[in-house]
């Protein structure tokens, strides 16, 4: 340690009675503790909501990154929730209506009418099958 550092530690101990750093003129928090608790409760009620949607719904004057950090500091983690497993159907029957013509032709070329059902992890129709949710560590994800 430098001599100057030791000097300031001794000086701080004389003035305050402890060596801990005093709360200085740092940046004020962007949100109050009440807003923080509202964010955390909202993320626990609707665990599949993103931080951008929380900002939009609650009309906060803070960025989505700030809301995300508030939720993470409360002990929640951001997880990826997966839906279902891959289901292969080798015979095309009623599932033919689920596939678009272009995808069906592509699958017939690749492997004799192999159709993917609606529970597939592959994104055939533009709907996302994986979503980001808020949860506690060690807690089972709700489907």
Asked whether residue 113 carries a pLDDT value surpassing 50, the answer given is no
Task: Please indicate, yes or no, if residue 95 is contained in any of the structural domains.
Answer: no
The Cα-based distances of 43 to 40, 57, 78, 94, 95 in angstroms read 5, 12, 11, 39, 37
CA–CA separation, 143 and 135 (whole Å): 12
4-29: per-residue pLDDT in tens? 778 887 887 888 777 776 666 677 88
Tell whether 70 is covered by a domain.
yes
Residue 134 lies in a domain: no
Q: Please give the pLDDT value at position 46.
A: 83
CA dist 12 and 7 (Å) reads 9
Going by pLDDT thresholds of 50, 70 and 90, the confidence category of residue 51 is confident
In a domain, 38, yes or no: yes
Does residue 40 lie in a domain region? yes
* Mean pLDDT, all residues of the chain: 70
Evaluate if residue 74 carries a pLDDT over 70.
Answer: yes
For every residue of 67-90, DSSP letters joined together read HHHHHHHTT-EEEEEE-----EES
* Number of domains observed in the structure of the chain: 1
Which domain does 68 fall in, by range?
Answer: 32-78
Residue 30 and residue 71: Cα distance in Å, rounded?
14
Within-domain flag for 37: yes
User: Is the residue at 60 inside a domain?
Assistant: yes
Domain assignment present for residue 45? The answer is: yes
């Amino acid at each position: 340690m430098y001599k100057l550092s030791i000097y300031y530690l001794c000086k701080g101990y004389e003035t305050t009675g402890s060596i801990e750093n005093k709360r200085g003129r740092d940046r004020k928090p962007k949100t109050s503790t009440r807003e923080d608790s509202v964010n955390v409760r909202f993320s626990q009620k609707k665990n599949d909501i993103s931080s951008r949607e929380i900002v939009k719904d609650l009309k906060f004057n803070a960025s989505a990154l700030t809301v995300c950090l508030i939720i993470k500091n409360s002990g929640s983690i951001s997880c990826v929730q997966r839906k279902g497993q891959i289901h292969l159907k080798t015979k095309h029957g009623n599932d033919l209506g689920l596939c678009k013509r272009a995808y069906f032709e592509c699958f017939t070329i690749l492997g004799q009418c192999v159709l993917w059902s609606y529970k597939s992890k592959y994104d055939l129709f533009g709907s996302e099958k994986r979503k980001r949710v808020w949860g506690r560590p060690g807690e089972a994800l709700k489907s």
